[in-house]
Amino acid sequence: MSAKRGLRVNGIRVIAFVAGSGLCAIGGLLYVSRAGGASPNVGATFTPPALAAAFLSAAAVRPGRFNVWGTVVAIFFLAVLNNGLNLAGVEPYVNDFVNGGALIIGVAMAAILYRRRTT
């Protein structure tokens, strides 16, 4: 008789998706309550900083690997950078350029560090 060992990956995956979608729903409700209304075009402004933070995370804490703490560091870095630009009185479109530049740098660094780690 063989005993099952290890983690139930399918169950953990379902729990992760349910928890993630629940947190997204709460975030959406908080955003709508703060803004006073909803627009289907709101999410487009959140995508570039999120992608930049995700790819910068591979270079922040453990080079060449995507990790949670690297993502947290990258999010704080981009938030401070964007808020600093806003406080300095820079035109709003400059934030898009900064986020795009951070995304390009993050993808390049993640690719270089991944290649260096695997060879």
Q: What is the DSSP letter of 37?
A: S
Write out pLDDT tens, residues 72-93.
888 898 899 989 999 999 998 8
Output the pLDDT for position 31: 86
**For position 14, what pLDDT does the model report?**
94
110 class by beta-carbon count within 10 Å (0-12 exposed, 13-18 middle, 19+ buried) = buried
**Beta carbons of 58 and 70 less than 8 angstroms apart:** yes
Percent of the chain with pLDDT over 70: 89
5-41 residue pLDDT tens: 778 888 999 999 999 999 999 988 998 898 888 788 8
The pTM score is 0.65
Give pLDDT, residue 2.
Answer: 55
d(CA 63, CA 2): 40
Q: Which residue has the higher pLDDT, 11 or 115?
A: 11
pLDDT surpasses 70 at 61:
no
Tell whether the torsion through CA atoms of 76, 77, 80 and 82 is positive or negative: negative
